[in-house]
A and B are shown apart, each in its own frame.
Chain A
């Protein structure tokens, strides 16, 4: 499928042009599902930011190691990266849907799972070290 800018019913004012300027109008159910997936990723990023802020607050209140503060900073930055990744992923997926191409693989998912596992491991090591 190619660009069909003069297609009847096409809203040419929609942004971004790199998405809405290509392909054909997809099933709206698929587009809405893509939007909800992006929102779920944004909320995941927000959850990481909130967890980081909560962790640094807890570390300050309970006078815990600065390792927790550094982990909290990493969690906050990872949350921001996940949110940006949601935006990029929405755009790639919407383009693929409009062009009837195979959907791109979720690149952020393995990184997120690996990151959460590493943070969990470091927190467990920190807890054992402070208990010993």
Chain B
């Protein structure tokens, strides 16, 4: 975190830990969804779209980490929140697609 004004009780580490929890959760969920895509074995078109979705999530996660370590950007949460939400939405769409493919059955 960058130097913040000396305010009593600021506790910037709480926000830092919240970001770390979010990043770890995102990484785990990305792995879970990628595993689901492999397990479901969708058709070529759906499979490629699903991998594209997982790829979007991974790129958003990497950009989130990069923004977090950029001292010029670390005081503004918006870009990092945007990358985090992009990753979650990409995983949500891929997860829903997996569930629909499972429901459709072989």
Query: Which residues of A are interface residues toward B (Cβ below 8 A)?
Result: 11, 13-16, 19-20, 27-29, 32, 35-36, 38-40, 42-43, 45-50, 52-57, 59-60, 66, 69-70, 72-74, 76-77, 79-81, 83-84, 86-87, 90-91
Q: Given contacts A53-B98, A56-B99, is CB(A87)–CB(B85) below 8 Å? A: yes
Q: How large is the interface on B (under 10, 10 to 19, 20 to 34, 35 or more residues)?
A: 35 or more
Task: Give the Cβ gap from A35 to chain B, nearest Cβ, in Å.
Answer: 5
B14-37 residues at the A interface, CB under 8 angstroms: 14-15, 18-19, 21-22, 25-26, 28-29, 32-33, 36
Task: Give the Cβ gap from A126 to chain B, nearest Cβ, in Å.
Answer: 14
Is B44 an interface residue when CB atoms closer than 8 A count as contact?
Answer: no
Query: Which residues of B are interface residues toward A (Cβ below 8 A)?
Result: 4-5, 7, 9-12, 14-15, 18-19, 21-22, 25-26, 28-29, 32-33, 36, 39-40, 72, 75-79, 81-82, 84-85, 88-89, 91-93, 95-96, 98-100, 102-103, 105
Task: Give the Cβ gap from A89 to chain B, nearest Cβ, in Å.
Answer: 10
The CA-CA distance from A22 to B88 in the complex, in Å, is: 29
Task: Give the Cβ gap from A32 to chain B, nearest Cβ, in Å.
Answer: 5
Q: Given contacts A46-B25, A53-B36, is CB(A66)–CB(B81) below 8 Å? A: no
Residues of B within 8 A of A66 (CB): 102-103, 105
Asked if A15 and B79 make an inter-chain contact with CB atoms under 8 angstroms apart, the answer reads: yes
Q: Given contacts A32-B14, A46-B29, A69-B102, is CB(A76)–CB(B96) below 8 Å? A: yes
Asked if B33 and A84 make an inter-chain contact with CB atoms under 8 angstroms apart, the answer reads: no
Closest A-B pairs by Cβ, 10 of them: A80-B92, A69-B103, A76-B95, A73-B99, A83-B88, A76-B96, A72-B99, A56-B99, A73-B96, A66-B103
Residues of A within 8 A of B81 (CB): 35, 38-39, 42, 86-87, 90
Asked if A32 and B95 make an inter-chain contact with CB atoms under 8 angstroms apart, the answer reads: no
Asked if A49 and B88 make an inter-chain contact with CB atoms under 8 angstroms apart, the answer reads: yes
Task: Give the Cβ gap from A7 to chain B, nearest Cβ, in Å.
Answer: 15
